[in-house]
Amino acid sequence: MNIQKKLKAYKRPVAIFPIGISGAGKSYLFNKKNFRNWQFLSADEMRKQLLIEMRREKKHLIVNSKKELANPKDAAHVFHPTLRDWVFKESQKQINHLAAKQKNCVLDLTNIHLQRVYAFNLFRKYNYTIVAVVFRPRSTQFHLKNVKKRSQKGGIDLAPKETHFADKIRTKIILEKRELQV
């Protein structure tokens, strides 16, 4: 299936929502190389950028009762509860902007479900074609391998940095998310 050909057939702007568990290949398929001239909104990238900015400004987070310098490569920081409200508000602002521009876009909002619902409704209002691409869960080892590859390239890991049980934590998260999607 050539997804680009299918998407060109739509006469209205398209909003794609990739849906799947960590390591399923969402970011791999929907990358800027494959989708030139598309707008991208990724909650994970927004978190990383905020943490990079916080680190530059020498800001800290409290993680497990310890004050730690913000680290965009540490899952405990990337998914820290204090970032949730900021990501929600920032993604809402960017969704409004994208919808009004009437440009094709990919919205990776996997971890913020209410934002996905908000975005669906807003894009409908702007007469977008909404495409949800569901990545079906595969074996735990497949997802684990992809998450490890991603983190080795500097991407987001599911396990907090500095843990001896990283594979156990990654596997637990993948299995929990699989149960929700099957």
Which of the four pLDDT bands, split at 50, 70 and 90, describes residue 156? low
C-alpha–C-alpha distance, residues 100 and 104, integer Å: 11
Tokens linked to 26 = 């969402």
- The model's pLDDT over 24-38, given as tens digits with 9 standing for 90+, comes to 778 778 876 778 788
Q: Please give the pLDDT value at position 52.
A: 94
Q: Report the percent of the chain where pLDDT is more than 70.
A: 75
Tokens 């998914």 correspond to what residue?
79
DSSP letter at 160? P
- Is 179's pLDDT higher than 50? no
Domains (ranges, CATH) in the chain?
3-181 (3.40.50.300)
- Is 90's pLDDT higher than 60? yes
Q: Please give the pLDDT value at position 178.
A: 45
Which of the four pLDDT bands, split at 50, 70 and 90, describes residue 79? confident
Q: Please give the pLDDT value at position 50.
A: 93
- Is 165's pLDDT higher than 70? no
Better-predicted residue by pLDDT, 57 or 148: 57
Contact (CB, 8 A) for 79 and 48: no
Q: Please give the pLDDT value at position 170.
A: 59
Query: CA separation (Å) from 111 to 22, 68, 126, 143, 175?
Result: 10, 23, 24, 17, 16
- Give me the half-sphere count of Cα atoms (radius 13 Å) on the Cβ side of residue 140: 13
Q: Please give the pLDDT value at position 181.
A: 43
- Is 74's pLDDT higher than 70? yes
- Is 101's pLDDT higher than 50? yes
Better-predicted residue by pLDDT, 83 or 67: 67
At residue 137, what are phi and psi to the nearest 5 degrees? Answer: -60, 140
Q: Please give the pLDDT value at position 57.
A: 97
Average pLDDT score over residue span 39-64? 90
